[in-house]
Structure 1
Amino acid sequence: MRIGIIGGGELGGSLAEWWAQAGHDVVISAPAADRGLTGIVTATDAATFGDVVLFAPEWVSAHSLIDATAGALTGKPVLDATNPVVWTRGHGYERAVPKGHSGIETLSEWAPDAQWVKAFNTCSPGVLRRRRGRDPLLAEFICTDHREARDAATRLIGDIGFAPFFAGGATNACLTETGGPLRLREVDVADATAVFAEAVASGR
């Protein structure tokens, strides 16, 4: 599978490495100063290249990247690993979307022709690196309204040693984002059903 990654950073770089090891063709976007390295391209090129796209920038740049790449995302599964927050000096973070509204729902409004699926935003890259491929497998929660995107995310999560767990449609994605009950929870796949039910019961 061809995978384009928009928004490098530690998460994007780790996933690029693991997917390449699993036999996928991967390119990753980066600032202009880093281009010229093998597999480093513009965000637009990454969106065009991928059969599937990982969208993992800081939220502050998400809208401009959507504006630059939306046409290339049409019809494609796009794994959204963002958290809809803006960091403020001395005040931590502020949510950038209304309460009860997930980031993926906002991205879907900005690029409605893409097949958005929330994934890879609950655990830190350090946790993913430590738990990758180890029993019991780490559950990776996914939320989407698109069956093709769900299938793509399920395959790509499994290919690198995690256990995909479907957590419902896009409206449930706020459970996995910053401030949600599933955010930063290291959940074994055997416990995922109970933990997810608890998260739903606790509300958004």
Structure 2
Amino acid sequence: MINEEQCVVNCQYSMATFSVPDRRNKPRGDRRGNEFTRLLERAFESAILVKNYPRSQIDIFCEVLEADGGNLAACVNAASLALADAGIPMRGLVTAVECGSVTGEACADLSSREHSDIVSRLTVATVGGKDEICMLDLKNIIHKDHVPQLIKMAMDANAQIHSCLESAVLIHMKKCYALSKRC
């Protein structure tokens, strides 16, 4: 059923066949890729002011060219910047980070090498660098005592990422404004 009062957010997550050391046969359509697609859609549906675009669709395509850990978080951050650059009004920039726990020690922004050491991973996305979680993805099981520590680390990291992305957007906007003044 199509809601004519607001836009549809359509996402597509895929990985290039050469993105990982062992070549992939199917770049899209696997279970994890479909799951990431749905997570991206839900995260951005909550952040984009969908009522501003009735009877329309916003497409977000994320193609991972080099899978070096934190793919979902990287896609969220890149898509957020792309939407801001396109002028799509949002409640705030969406930022994400992947955290994990090794022998009780929390780690943020995991690389693919660290993925082999860390069995449990948690990806958290927030809107506007605040305490509003718009996406949470858990890979494997995390002990309940570790969850608050990982969530706090993710929230702190998201605040820092938001600050960096916001600075980049402001610099870009100033450049665009300066260029428009010349014309």
Asked if TM exceeds 0.5, the reply is no
TM-score of the pair, normalised by structure 2: 0.34
Larger RCO: Structure 1 or Structure 2 (Cα < 8 Å, ≥ 6 residues apart)?
Answer: 2
* TM-score using structure 1 length: 0.31
Which one has a bigger Cα radius of gyration?
2
